[in-house]
Copies of this chain bind each other. A is one copy, B any other.
Amino acid sequence: MTELPAVLADELRTLLGPGGLLVDESERLVYGYDNSRRQGLPLAVALPTDAAQVQALVGLCRDHGLPLVARGRGTNTTGATVPGEDALVVSFERMDQVLAIRPGDRVAVVQPGLLNGDLQAALAPHGLFWPPDPTSANFSTIGGNLACNAGGPRAVKYGATRDNVLALKAVTGAGALVEFGAATTKGASGYDLSRLLIGSEGTLALIVEATLKLTPLAPQRLALRAIYADVEAAAAAVARLMAQPVTPSMLEFMDGDCVRLARDVGGAELPADAGALLMIEADGDEAVLDAAVAALRQAAGGEGCLSVEAAPDEAARTRLWAARKALSPALRTLAPGKINEDVVVPVSRLPALVAAVRTAAGLHALPIVCFGHAGNGNLHVNILYDPADADQARRADAALETIFDTVIALGGQVSGEHGIGLVKRELLARSLDQATLGLMRAIKSQFDPAGILNPGKVLPASPEGQP
């Protein structure tokens, strides 16, 4: 299929109303990419306004055998929202409402196209927030967060997306409108299908409404900056911090290269000779905070710790976080190419992962810099290289292979929060047993018997002769 069949185009136009179907190439182009630097050109873009339109849309696409790719704002980094040339993109930008906020139930009911940041703004007057806080929060949608099981720094204390959703309404690939879960924090009433959808990247069903579990906003927070002689000392401190009773509300790691970058490029006030740094935050009310900070400070200290300092005020705290946020773009100044992985390992194995990364950097003679959500064992590993240099590109790939082998051997997962999409499908095959992969494929075929929902994403290509 190289263009939308005229009869289907007419049906879609009738269904979606004025402005509901985009077919001009210039318009389709901007719905074809995400933050993976991959690109596809969809046949058309559908902009439904309610669940009934989504259901009808899926029915039409199933009848015509047309693949569907659901899309929030395309901030993901894995190609999960990059359409094939024969696909229809379904953008949820016209389904962006907060349907209800119920503080007594600690829930919000929202449409998938709502921006995470807009939700947080709507919740703040109620003294509540929704924990997932990816760096993209101000311009990524709840639907995208759900599809990718988004995390962020706060996940160490408050959980990632999957931990913060109670119920979903969705349209399966078979065109059925289903409701999973309830607005209750407990339930033992049949199989848990809500959490199965979360992280499935639009391959099982299109989420049309979500009931989110909210958490009370802590009234105050305090950030600590701990400097270490080397990454091993910092990684050991992470394990100590997570083994004591006060759970930090953020626990971020930077290796020495990142500290230098944050200082030189990001403008942060950081010592250039730091071997590694932890940013540790506590939250709570005033009475709680002093004790929490004291406990964290105690755990952060120890062998190889050079200093632990509190950000004296909110402005200092903001500067510290700004430097952390500036890291990812700053890395681009070091080399034209960057492979950014977000592997995750058990926290106690972070020192082993960090050591393996350093060995790989030496062996393949490439800079590899690490930062990330240390409290979850979730490390952003950045391999810096010049893609125009074939030898460097080959070495970057080899380094990456070593790192994934290490992650799998350490009992970790190939993605902590970015997801699988197009780019990590074959890694999934390497890290899961065949029976588990087979069950994932079997579940996919039950939700989406015609295989029209985001085909070619998440699940690796089947071996020859298998479904």
Number of identical monomers bound together in the oligomeric complex: 2
Report yes or no: B186 in contact with A435, Cβ–Cβ below 8 A: no
CB-based contact B105/A189 at 8 Å = no
A439 interface neighbour in B150, B377, B447, Cβ under 8 Å: B447
Sorting the interface of chain A by its residue count into under 10, 10 to 19, 20 to 34 or 35 or more gives: 35 or more
Q: Which residues from chain B contact A346 at a C-beta distance below 8 Å?
A: 102, 105, 107, 182-184
Q: How far is the CB of A302 from chain B (nearest CB, A)?
A: 13
| Cβ-based interface call for A249 (8 A) | no
CB contact list, A180-226 vs B, under 8 A: 180, 182-193, 195-196, 198-200, 204, 216-219
Q: Which residues of B contact A65 (CB under 8 A)?
A: none
Q: Is the CB of A106 within 8 A of B443?
A: no
Asked if residues B245 and A184 are in contact (CB atoms below 8 Å), the reply is no
CB of A373 closer than 8 Å to a CB of B: yes
A442 is an interface residue with CB less than 8 A from chain B: yes
Q: Does A416 contact B (CB under 8 A)?
A: yes
Nearest Cβ on chain B to A55's Cβ, whole angstroms = 11
Residues of B within 8 A of A417 (CB): 186, 188
A357 near B: Cβ within 8 Å?
A: no
Instruction: Indicate whether A420 sits within 8 Å of B155 (C-beta atoms), given known contacts A216-B245, A346-B102.
Output: no
Please give, as numbers and ranges, the residues of chain B lying within 8 Å of A163 by CB-CB distance.
163
**Contact B440–A443 (Cβ < 8 Å):** no
Chain B nearest Cβ from A214, distance in angstroms: 10
A289 to chain B, nearest CB (A): 9
Taken together as a complex, chains A and B put the C-alpha atoms of A406 and B377 apart, in Å, by 44
Chain B residues within an 8 Å CB radius of A177? 433, 435
Q: Which residues of B contact A183 (CB under 8 A)?
A: 346, 411
The 8 Å CB contact of A347, one of B104, B198, B217, B345, is: B104
A242–B246 CA distance with the chains assembled, in angstroms: 22
A residues whose Cβ falls under 8 Å from a Cβ of B: 102-107, 127, 148-151, 155-156, 159-160, 162-163, 172, 174, 176-180, 182-193, 195-196, 198-200, 204, 216-219, 239-240, 242-247, 284-288, 290-292, 295, 344-349, 373, 376-378, 411-420, 424, 428, 431-433, 435-440, 442-443, 446-447, 458-459
Other 7 A-B pairs with CB < 8 A, given A179-B432, A188-B420, A193-B436: A105-B242, A182-B344, A182-B346, A182-B413, A188-B413, A189-B420, A284-B288
